[in-house]
Amino acid sequence: MARVFSGIQPSGELHIGNYLGAVQNWVKLQDLHECLFSVVDLHAITQPYEAGGLAQRTEEMALSLLAAGLDPDKSTIFVQSHVAEHTELNWLLTIVTPLGELERQTQFKDKSQRQESVSAGLLNYPVLQAADVLLYKATLVPVGEDQLQHLELMREIVRRWNARFGADFFPEPQAQLSTARRVLGLDGQAKMSKSLGNTIGLFDPPDSIWEKLRPAATDPARKTRKDPGNPDICNVFTIHQGFSAPAVQADVAHKCRTAGWGCLDCKRVLADNMIAALTPMRERAAALRADPRRVRDVLRAGAAKARALARQTMAEVRRRMGLLPAEA
């Protein structure tokens, strides 16, 4: 059994892109490993944000994770900023982090290009991410492809810290790349993202799922019902792969390639399967919304469990780095 850590930014309600790209896999990992999942609010604030809505988005994301199937009896679910040790370890790790590596991160370069003034926080983002994982000595980190460079840097930080302060203290974490193909927005253009308005929310009711799916982009080669298509480049087929059984996927792919049916037929089957999968989640979300204490209790207990682990690591890190212990 490995220890797993992953984080998700508090963007508010989950959509099917987040679900298929990450959370569906997390739900499975809970039965295989010891898992910690965190709503990473401290990462979210490295880009322009509205302070007024952050707490609510954070709570909404936690609620979404529970409704999607994360189980507090199996996993530790908590808010990053509730465990202050994340920021403490972050600082201590900056000492062994090469500035050049931070400046070379593609995510940093992309994000900083979109901003007028670039903060040290944005540059530091991957160091905080390393602290998230190393605080719990997690060895398995499920992430999307866009995070692989951050994971490589994390491993570099581990090697440097271990070389200087204690051989083999931190394990080198491995990325577990999600096998799911990346879901694009319903426009088939950019990635699925709430700010682009091209999503299906995880808790959308059936009629709204169909309303959004019906006009969704498919393989542009299928101009008419008689044109065969290629499921490998069809975003609707990617969504099928997340919600339909393997036998159905095979049938769908065949009917697409042979023009055996039209895109609308394909989408009707998908809508049924999505509605079947998402209805229990929508119901769980409604139950959690009706009882807001429940989410807060889960987060309080999760933070307490995480903190207990974090404190052990930090005591040892401080000692190895030579800091004077505080008087009890």
- Positions touching ligand TRP (CB under 6 A) are 5-7, 9, 40, 43, 129, 132-133, 141, 143, 147
Hey, which bits of the chain come out as E strands?
A: 3-8, 34-39, 75-79, 140-143, 174-177
Integer distance in angstroms from the first to the last C-alpha of the chain? 36
Cβ distance 140 to 173 under 8 Å?
yes
Amino acid at 225: R
191 assigned to active site: yes
Nearer to ligand TRP, 86 or 255 (CB): 86
109 assigned to active site: no
Q: Show the tokens assigned to 293.
A: 């204490």
Give the residues across from 174 on adjacent strands: 140
Nearer to ligand TRP, 7 or 231 (CB): 7
Residue nearest to ligand TRP (CB): 7
Catalytic residue among 111, 137, 212, 305: 111
Quote the least distance from Cβ 296 to ligand TRP, whole Å: 22
226 assigned to active site: no
Q: Show the tokens assigned to 213.
A: 């799916």
CA dihedral 297, 302, 304, 309 (to 10 degrees): 170
Catalytic residue among 137, 194, 212, 305: 194
DSSP symbol at 187: T
Quote the least distance from Cβ 184 to ligand TRP, whole Å: 17
Nearer to ligand TRP, 9 or 199 (CB): 9
Quote the least distance from Cβ 319 to ligand TRP, whole Å: 25
Quote the least distance from Cβ 144 to ligand TRP, whole Å: 6
Q: Which residues are catalytic?
A: 111, 191, 194
